[in-house]
Chain A
Amino acid sequence: MSIAQKVRELLKSHGTPSKEVYFDLENSGFVPQEVVEAMMPYFNRIGYGHPSITHKPGWEALEVVYETKELLGKTIGASDPDEIVFTHSGTEANNLAILGYLLKNRGRKGKVVVSSIEHLSVIFPAQFASELFGFKTVLVPVDSEGFVDPELFKLYVDKETVFVSIQMVNHEIGTIQKLKELIDIAKSANPDIVFHTDAVDAYGWIPIDVKKLGVDMLTISSHKIHGPRGVGALYIRKGVEVEPPIKGQLSVEKNWPGVENVPLIAGFKKAIEIMFSNFDYRVEYVRKLRDKLIKGITSSVPHTIINGPLNEYRVANNVNVSFLFIEGEALTVELSLHGVYVSSGSACSSRVLEPSHVLLAIGRKHEEAHGSILFKLSHYHREEDIDYALEVIPKAVERLRKISAWKQ
């Protein structure tokens, strides 16, 4: 049987649940119809040309590319649209920031400092670049809620430090890092440090101002805000130079070679417009849903741990729960059979056989990480969706606990 046939069989056996709620916005998500419609013309009606070529379809493409750069730049307080570089994913944008800067500065020796709960698209390029160019990558530990302790951070940044990357909001446990303080510490230890932040999970959820923060580079991803997959963006402050780690175009301005994905960029623009209209109201709305979900789970299911902070430093859309005595992958399958779609930080649900490095870094034991489930909410969720999840989750957990060989 071919793999496609196997998947078809699996789906047939799974069936379509009578109600479906999608909470796995961490890994990817649906694209709202209005965003799809914003993309459509750019496939074959306008702007289908290459934005760097001198003809009308090219200029139409260039127009929407710059409209998006200008809009995006405005939402983060950039001073020039050319400070925005489009890549084809958040992973690529993080790679451009780290590999690109360290490639440009190869020959210099020194330290690269990243936190131990960064997305792997930050940790791996940092380690990779260090291996290639002789930098030393150091991971800063975090506390049990995912915060980098400023006093501890002072010991990690010094005259030897070349590059720092610390996430604005953690993708798994929703910690809103006290970034301004960390940037100030880094810059006062050494004004030459280039400070990058992965803001993929912050964008659209907390206000961002690159100038007030004093950050040098910042990563954003389209599909994390209900835009299409396949577009990422990196803000590179004017004056900071990177060398494209991938090659393919003669153009000197192009930090990420390859044709811009114009229709998807048009969709990204629409998604940004939606995220930033009624920003405060939307965030508050989602925060209420989040609190309802957290409260509902902890009051109906015994033996749970909420991972990440439980105060104003938790991002509005993140719920991460460890259910003890059961394994997270089994729970994702059980919930899927009932139409609740989530992901887990367990080893078994990942493509690697290790549980989430984020949960281990905040001091969770392996068995606590194995039972973790991540819910990511958005303004497309309704209160009924939370009610439905709260109806399904306790039963699912109870059934798996009954099966489990690990008893209280």
Chain B
Amino acid sequence: MLLVFRLSSRIPLPYSPKVLEIFRNPRNLGPLEDANVVEMAGSPACGDMIRLYLKIVHRDDGDYIEKASFESYGCAANIAAASILTDMIIGKKVEDAWKISWKQISDELGGLPPIKYHCSILAVGALKRGIRAYYKQIGYNPPWLPKDLTVEERQVLEEEEMMERYYKAMKALGGGSR
């Protein structure tokens, strides 16, 4: 058995009051009954998972995110990132919501500690998956939607696949899970 640790930033950056405030009173929490997109990113094994509910509507001047809500399994930053993302996208044009970066989420939260960047990456990854799922559903490919996966989507996928590989390897060794 080998112990491998991914060492990260040693700077003990604390949470911002904003993260704590949203963690205390998350907004847009829970399932959305009239959602037309429900998308997930992450997994329990990774230690963080976000489920995003979107209601996307078509108007004359484009597609809009009319409603959004979330559920989050993860640390305080993960909960705050998912919550603030829903706040940021409600009422936005889908095309504009697509452009939101993980850095914007981190900034909006008063600056996440580097070790928690992946929380905002996961939130953006879930949103991008949701948007793709919507257009797949209606069978339309907007010109602004890139064919290739974005950095955030790739990173989320990598994290999920890494855990799958880990469990496959452990299973092959005859251990790891009961």
Contacts and interface: CB of A to CB of B under 8 A. Distances in A.
A366 B167 CA distance: 10
Interface of B: 1, 3-8, 10-17, 20-21, 23-24, 26, 29-30, 40, 42-51, 70-79, 115-116, 163, 166, 175-178
A370 B43 CA distance: 11
A348 to B, nearest CB: 4
A187 to B, nearest CB: 25
Interface string A358-379: 0011010111001000000000
A405 B30 CA distance: 9
25 contacts: A3-B11, A10-B16, A10-B17, A12-B17, A13-B17, A13-B21, A325-B73, A327-B74, A330-B79, A333-B23, A333-B75, A334-B76, A337-B20, A337-B24, A348-B47, A351-B115, A354-B4, A354-B5, A354-B6, A365-B177, A403-B29, A404-B71, A405-B50, A405-B51, A405-B73
Contacts of A109: none
Contacts of A360: 176
B1 A352 contact: no
A172 to B, nearest CB: 15
B74 A348 contact: yes
Interface residues of A, number: 44
A401 to B, nearest CB: 9
B9 to A, nearest CB: 9
Interface of A: 3, 6-7, 9-10, 12-14, 116, 123, 127, 139, 141, 144, 325-327, 329-330, 333-334, 337, 346-349, 351-355, 357, 360-361, 363, 365-367, 370, 402-406
Contacts of A403: 26, 29, 71-72, 79
Given A325-B73, A405-B50, A353 B23 contact: no
Nearest to A406: B73
Contacts of B73: 325-327, 404-406
Nearest to A362: B178
Nearest to A15: B20
B116 to A, nearest CB: 8
* Nearest 5 interchain pairs by C-beta: A13-B17, A367-B44, A348-B75, A405-B71, A329-B75
Nearest to A12: B17
A355 B11 CA distance: 19
A305 B51 CA distance: 25
Nearest to A9: B17
